[in-house]
Amino acid sequence: MTKTQPRIQFKKHLGQANHFLITSLVALHALGENSVVEAPEELRTAWNPKDKSASISRSRNFVLQSFLGWAVDSVDMYLSLLNRKPNYLQNSSLSSRLDGAGRSVLKKVRIYSEHYKVQPLTQALIDVLITWRNNVFHELADNELSAESRKGLAAHATDIAAGYRGLDVTGLAEKSKEGAALTFKETASLINAAHNFVQEVDAAVLAAFDAKAFCIEAVQDALNDKKQEKGFAAKYLCLSTEKRVRFLHNWFMNSHGFSELSKDAIESCLNLSRQPSVVSH
């Protein structure tokens, strides 16, 4: 396995965000450069702003904000999927800490960063992203960048500029606290930081990953799931051993992100049964 299924889902969710962002900004720029002042007929709606330039400027800011909000939601989705059954983390202590974080994506990110030793510069930028988003999207939020992240921005300013196409971190901490407008470069860089954060966490998760234990848990969970009685469980239980091997191999490839799977891992899942407590009567 080179990527967990949660990371595959994350990339589907956010994968081309910067491309879509640039496309949106190009469209707004083109609108400002031409004489269009009404919506095209095919949209079947009215659009005739009193101040076209002001409307474009406000729309541009809204687009930047929306993409950053989507980035945070994508990170949150990824972190949550890792800690669901079947559990990719395979660490009860870590899962307990994450459960204690509730719905706070900022707390979850900091727990993951600490546990998996995420690079300080990546942690600082993801902290900026989430702190900024909380203060913009939540009316009563009053989040501040952590002291460690402020130090990370200052200590790694040169490395950040080199890795993020000249990004200047000066003022990012205050912008995140105030929910101030971000530039295109800052927005694109924070989206890239979300990708880098997920990549680092995923590599660390897989470095400690027990594929055999995961496979047993995944199959047992699918067998016990009452919603799967006529799906996975029905097929698994009626197949011969030889056909069950092929079925499980394809299932792990398609549903759980495996690119290859050992014979031992497959064989460990061949003779499982539904647990009595969940069998329908």
More confident residue, 139 or 177: 177
Joined together, the tokens standing for residue 148 give 């460690």
pLDDT band at 276 (very low <50, low <70, confident <90, very high): low
Give residue 225's pLDDT: 87
Average pLDDT over all residues of the chain: 93
pLDDT band at 67 (very low <50, low <70, confident <90, very high): very high
Summarize the confidence of residues 249-254 as an average pLDDT: 93
Give residue 280's pLDDT: 43
Q: How far is CA 25 from the centre of its chain?
A: 23
Give residue 259's pLDDT: 87
Report percent pLDDT > 90 for the chain: 87
